[in-house]
């Protein structure tokens, strides 16, 4: 297996002195290509912090993050932004779609940033929207869609750039139970059929049950690492 993500003694501390909070404290982790992994643990355990550091959305206090051998944690902001665009897909709890854009335009946007030709963007966006069951809603804006439909657009957008890994931060938190389960099954299908690597931070037992690996954090440290 190819190692996609490696963290080396990764730490993120906030504050200083007596008010220092160790959100992440010396985490060593390797994630292989094709994994469907859930980072789990109680609130404040460091799940979201770990995902943000892996995705280059935050800088570590100490330690390093590597994506396919590239030291993400040492990249300059401009280079990091380009690298994220081409190698990492994100799915957020709050969907984070651009409200003035249609579903199709939201999916195309990342490819626009990659300077792909218009015809290619359109064809790929429509193909991905069809794969998530939303081809007929391509012209709708986020406000005209349910939460579950918006999150499917977010999944489609994350897939559009053909990233090495998709990081999903509590992706089902704002969805009802059935919609959340359907979304997880959709992502698992992409994982199994296309080998797309997914890493979640989650409290959702439905994700935990479907994950191939559970990495449990407690107080910023890995307490368990279970393959199932």
8 Å CB contact between 186 and 132: yes
Q: CA–CA separation, 23 vs 197, rounded Å?
A: 25
Burial 45-71 (b: 16+ CB within 10 A, else e): bbbbbbbbbbbbbbebbebebbbeeee
**Helix-helix angle 147-160:177-194, to 10 degrees:** 20
pLDDT in tens, 41-74: 998 899 999 999 999 999 999 999 999 999 998 9
**Does the domain at residues 3-227 carry the CATH identifier 3.40.50.300?**
yes
Q: What does the alpha-carbon distance between residue 75 and residue 88 come to, in Å, rounded to a whole number?
A: 15
Residue 128: which pLDDT band, with cuts at 50, 70 and 90?
very high
Q: Where are the domains of the chain?
A: 3-227
- pLDDT value at residue 109: 94
Quote the pLDDT of residue 148: 93
- In the prediction, which pLDDT does 5 show? 96
Residue 105: CB atoms within 10 A of its CB come to: 18
pLDDT score, position 228: 85
How far is the C-alpha of 104 from the C-alpha of 157, rounded, in Å? 9
């Amino acid at each position: 297996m190819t190692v996609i993500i490696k963290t080396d003694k990764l730490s993120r501390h906030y504050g200083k002195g007596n008010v220092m909070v160790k959100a992440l404290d010396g985490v060593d982790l390797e994630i292989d290509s094709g994994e469907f992994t859930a980072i789990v643990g109680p609130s404040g355990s460091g799940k979201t912090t770990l995902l943000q550091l892996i995705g280059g959305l935050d800088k570590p206090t100490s330690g390093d993050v590597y994506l396919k051998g590239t030291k993400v944690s040492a990249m300059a902001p401009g280079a990091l932004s380009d690298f994220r665009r081409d190698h990492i897909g994100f799915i957020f709890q709050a969907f984070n779609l651009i409200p003035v854009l249609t579903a199709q335009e939201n999916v195309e946007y990342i490819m626009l940033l990659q300077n792909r030709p218009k015809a290619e963007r359109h064809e790929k966006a429509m193909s991905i929207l069809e794969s998530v069951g939303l081809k007929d809603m391509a012209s709708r804006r986020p406000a005209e869609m349910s939460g579950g439909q918006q999150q499917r657009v977010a999944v489609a957008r994350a897939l559009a750039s053909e990233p090495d890994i998709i990081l999903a931060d509590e992706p089902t938190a704002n969805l009802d139970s059935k919609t959340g389960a359907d979304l997880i099954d959709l992502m698992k299908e992409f994982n199994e059929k296309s080998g797309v690597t997914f890493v979640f931070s989650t409290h959702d037992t439905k994700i935990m049950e479907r994950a191939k690996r559970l990495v449990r954090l407690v107080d910023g440290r890995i307490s368990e690492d279970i393959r199932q």
